[in-house]
């Protein structure tokens, strides 16, 4: 039982990739934004002997001392404690998340970031001195870049060859224009816009879709490079449109991005059903988000068509629809 007097809590948002998934693994730009209405939360209560991790949504309890080192939850605890130079700790970590698992909304990276931030808050109470570089004015316990790079290590366990976009957008909690292995570029949204995010209800591990795309790329290298270039170009144009408030350009860009995602074979019947329903109800653009094959899709909505699009997504089988403003 957690004692609320001693509890330390930290949260991290979900995310959606607006443009550029998959091509981003091959060095092309992508745009991702946080989705703050869904969150992963880690709560720490000091005092238990050893470290016990409770993943409450999946009903899993992990005894850290006995855990498989490649278990993502044990790994993020190990990496974070090592970052603070802590060898031994007695605490219970409880994890809860409203972000659907394996569905393109970044649940793995969000859980990692929440655990890192909670452990960082706890660590300031137990490490004897300030460590240079750890304390920043914006976040007193750990900086965003460190949160992102620790979470990236665990993304490798989830994904195999992750681009790093999930950990980046979630750790910085800001819209990002992301190019692999380049310094992070955040950008501003000149005119807020709204998307409906529809869940197919089909869990789809990103690792499998990313692995299949890699095999296809190896087999048809030149063709896939052309497709990735086109996806990257759409992300570049979309950034300019978002920064200059030309929201009417985004719908057609989403449709073109989706056509290319179909061409690289990461769409699915369920995704196409939701995308078709959103378009038929008036969305000016719609596409899958994240790894694809299942998981979530997004549709651009406005005040006049939002209700009809949400209803159409539900009628077409969406298990959950989230409406969120991008700003």
Between the alpha carbon of residue 42 and those of residues 10, 36, 77, 122, 248, the distances in Å are 6, 15, 11, 12, 39
Using the rule CB under 6 A, give the single segment among 20-28, 58-66, 119-127, 181-189 that binds ligand PMV. 20-28
Give the one residue of 12, 21, 77, 83 binding ligand PMV; rule: CB under 6 A. Answer: 21
Give the one residue of 97, 112, 163, 268 binding ligand PMV; rule: CB under 6 A. Answer: 163
Residue with tokens 């995308």: 275
Decide: is 28 part of the binding site for ligand PMV (CB under 6 A). Answer: no
Using the rule CB under 6 A, give the single segment among 156-164, 181-189, 226-234, 314-322 that binds ligand PMV. 156-164
Q: Taking the chain, what is the end-to-end CA distance rounded to the nearest angstrom?
A: 39
Q: Which is nearer to ligand PMV, 34 or 104 (CB)?
A: 104
Give the one residue of 31, 179, 210, 227 binding ligand PMV; rule: CB under 6 A. Answer: 210
Residues 288-327 that bind ligand PMV (CB under 6 A): 290-291
Decide: is 22 part of the binding site for ligand PMV (CB under 6 A). Answer: yes
CB closest to ligand PMV, residue no = 290
Decide: is 29 part of the binding site for ligand PMV (CB under 6 A). Answer: no
Residues 72-111 that bind ligand PMV (CB under 6 A): 104, 106
In this structure, the chain runs to a length of: 327
Decide: is 25 part of the binding site for ligand PMV (CB under 6 A). Answer: yes
Q: Which residues are near ligand PMV by CB under 6 A?
A: 17, 21-22, 24-25, 104, 106, 159, 162-163, 165-166, 206, 210, 290-291
């Amino acid at each position: 039982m957690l004692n609320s007097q001693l509890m330390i809590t930290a949260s991290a948002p979900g995310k959606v990739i607006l443009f550029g998934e998959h091509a981003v693994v091959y060095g092309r730009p992508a745009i991702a934004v946080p989705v703050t209405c869904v969150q992963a939360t880690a709560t720490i209560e000091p005092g238990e002997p050893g470290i016990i991790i409770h993943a409450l949504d999946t009903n899993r309890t992990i005894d850290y001392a006995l855990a498989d080192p490649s278990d993502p939850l044990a790994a993020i605890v190990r990496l974070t404690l090592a970052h603070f130079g802590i060898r031994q700790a007695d605490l219970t970590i409880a994890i809860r998340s409203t972000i659907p698992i394996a569905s393109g909304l970044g649940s793995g990276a969000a859980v990692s970031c929440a655990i890192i931030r909670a452990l960082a808050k706890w660590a300031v109470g137990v490490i004897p001195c300030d460590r240079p570089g750890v304390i920043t004015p914006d976040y007193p316990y750990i900086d965003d870049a460190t949160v992102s790079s620790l979470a990236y290590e665990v993304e490798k366990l989830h994904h195999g060859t992750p681009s790093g976009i999930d950990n980046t957008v979630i750790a910085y909690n800001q819209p990002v224009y992301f190019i692999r292995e380049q310094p992070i570029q955040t950008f501003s949204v000149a005119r807020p816009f709204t998307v409906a995010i529809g869940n197919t209800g089909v869990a789809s591990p990103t690792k499998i879709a990313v692995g299949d795309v890699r095999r296809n790329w190896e087999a048809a290298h030149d063709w896939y490079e052309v497709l990735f270039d086109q996806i990257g170009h759409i992300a570049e144009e979309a950034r300019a449109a978002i920064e200059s408030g030309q929201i009417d350009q985004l719908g057609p860009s989403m449709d073109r991005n989706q056509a290319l995602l179909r061409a690289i074979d990461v769409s699915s019947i369920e995704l196409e059903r939701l995308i078709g329903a959103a378009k038929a109800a008036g969305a000016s653009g719609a596409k899958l988000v994240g790894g694809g094959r299942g998981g979530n899709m997004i549709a651009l909505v406005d005040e006049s068509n939002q209700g009809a699009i949400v209803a159409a997504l539900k009628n077409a089988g969406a298990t959950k629809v989230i409406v969120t403003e991008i700003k």
